[in-house]
Amino acid sequence: MKNKKVWETKSLEWIHKVREEMDEEIRGKGMTPAEWIKSRGVIDTALLCKKLGLENCTIVKDKARVSGVFR
């Protein structure tokens, strides 16, 4: 149980750090969050999974959102 709490704490710290970086970039470009998301383009889910170390995941393309940034 101790390891789970340590992992959750580190995960939350990472999430907050990424969010701060995103907010700084959005403010720097003078965009709204929605405009910033649209400017990022299409997400390569296979590459994202690989970078996150998710080796045993299956991407179901039929269930992915077609509108917005998920294509």
49 lies in the same domain as 65: yes
Residue 62 confidence class, pLDDT cut points 50, 70, 90: low
| pLDDT beyond 60 at 66 | no
| pLDDT beyond 80 at 15 | yes
46 lies in the same domain as 63: yes
Is residue 62 within 8 A of residue 31, CB to CB? The reply is: no
1 lies in the same domain as 24: yes
**What pTM does this model have?**
0.49
pLDDT of residue 34: 86
34 lies in the same domain as 65: no
Residue whose C-alpha is closest to residue 25's, from 33, 14, 16: 33
Count of domains in the chain?
A: 2
**Range list of H helices, the chain:** 2-29, 33-39, 45-51
| pLDDT beyond 60 at 69 | no
d(C-alpha 48, C-alpha 38), whole Å: 18
57 lies in the same domain as 34: no
The domain in which residue 27 lies consists of: 1-40
28: helix, strand or coil? helix
35 lies in the same domain as 55: no
57 lies in the same domain as 26: no
